[in-house]
C-alpha cells in the first residue's frame, strides 16, 4: 500500500527543524548500509550518534502519534528512530530493497521492516530531481511531496531516489514493524476503518456502525502479532 500522509508536520515545525540542521555536521550516507547498498547510494545523513538526530526524531515520532491516518494505515508496533538525509550535487540512491530486520541501535531489540516511510522536509520547488520512485506490480510510482507530508509504502518494494541536480532534498526516513505483517490485510483494515469513520460522521445507523466496528476489531485480533 502506497499512501500519502498529509501534514504530519506543520510549516512552522519544518522551518524549525531546517534551521536546526543548518549548522549540523553531515556524514556519508554509505556508512549505514551494506556493501550492495553502498554501490548505489550517494547522499549525506545526520550521524546516528548525533544528539540533534535524536532530538528531531522525537519530534517526528510525536507528530506521527497524533496523526490518525498514519496510525490507521501503519498500525505501528515498533518504530525505528527516524534518520535524516540530504541529497544535492547529483546525489542519488539507486534501486534497492530495504533490509528485512534492523537493530534499533539503542538496545538489542530488532525491528522487522514492514513499512518504509519518507517525510519530506524540502518543498518540491526547492530542488530538481530527487523523486522517490517506488516500483510494484502496478508499475513505477513517482513521489515528490510538500514539506511536512509523508509517504508510506511496503518495505519489500523496490525503490530509488533520482539524482538531485539543483538545490537540496532534505527528508526524514524510518521503518515500522506493524501489528499486521501482511500489507494486503493492512489495506483492508484501513478501508474498513475509513468506512466506519465516514459512516459515523454521517450519522448512519448506529447498530450497523457497531457491527462493522466489531468486524474491524475481530479481523485485527485475528491478524495482529504482538
pLDDT-derived band of residue 34, with 50, 70 and 90 as boundaries?
Answer: confident
Domain pair 3-178 / 183-223, same fold: no
pLDDT-derived band of residue 105, with 50, 70 and 90 as boundaries?
Answer: low
CA distances, 35 to each of 96, 103, 113 (Å): 12, 17, 19
Domain 183-223 has CATH 4.10.860.20: yes
Q: Between 23 and 193, whose confidence is greater?
A: 193
Domain 3-178's class? mainly beta
Enumerate the domain spans of the chain: 3-178, 183-223
pLDDT in tens, 193-206: 999 999 999 988 99
pLDDT in tens, 171-188: 999 999 999 999 999 999
**Count of alpha carbons within 13 Å of 148, Cβ hemisphere only?**
12
User: Do 86 and 127 touch, CB atoms closer than 8 A?
Assistant: no
Q: At what angle do helices 51-65 and 11-21 cross, to 10 degrees?
A: 170
Average pLDDT of the segment spanning 152-156: 97
Report the greatest alpha carbon distance in the chain: 59
Amino acid at each position: 500500500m502506497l499512501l500519502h500522509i498529509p501534514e504530519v508536520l506543520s510549516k512552522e515545525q519544518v522551518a524549525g527543524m531546517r534551521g536546526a540542521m543548518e549548522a549540523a555536521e553531515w556524514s556519508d550516507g554509505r556508512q549505514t548500509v551494506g556493501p550492495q547498498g553502498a554501490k548505489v547510494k550517494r547522499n549525506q545523513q545526520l550521524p546516528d550518534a548525533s544528539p540533534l538526530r535524536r532530538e528531531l526524531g522525537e519530534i517526528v515520532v510525536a507528530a506521527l502519534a497524533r496523526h490518525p491516518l498514519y496510525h490507521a494505515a501503519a498500525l505501528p508496533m515498533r518504530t525505528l528512530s527516524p534518520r535524516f538525509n540530504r541529497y544535492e550535487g547529483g546525489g542519488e540512491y539507486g534501486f534497492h530493497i530495504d533490509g528485512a530486520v534492523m537493530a534499533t541501535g539503542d538496545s538489542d531489540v530488532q525491528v522487522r521492516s514492514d513499512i518504509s516511510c519518507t517525510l519530506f522536509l524540502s518543498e518540491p520547488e526547492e530542488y530538481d530531481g530527487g523523486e522517490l520512485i517506488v516500483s510494484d506490480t502496478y508499475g513505477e510510482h513517482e513521489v515528490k511531496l510538500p514539506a511536512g507530508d509523508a509517504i508510506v509504502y511496503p518495505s519489500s518494494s523496490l525503490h530509488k531516489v533520482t539524482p538531485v541536480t539543483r538545490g537540496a532534498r532534505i527528508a526524514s526516513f524510518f521503518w515500522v514493524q506493524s501489528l499486521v505483517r501482511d500489507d494486503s490485510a493492512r489495506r483492508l483494515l484501513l478501508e474498513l476503518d475509513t468506512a466506519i469513520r465516514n459512516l459515523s460522521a454521517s450519522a448512519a445507523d448506529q447498530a450497523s456502525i457497531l457491527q462493522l466496528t466489531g468486524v474491524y476489531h475481530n479481523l485485527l485480533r485475528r491478524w495482529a502479532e504482538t
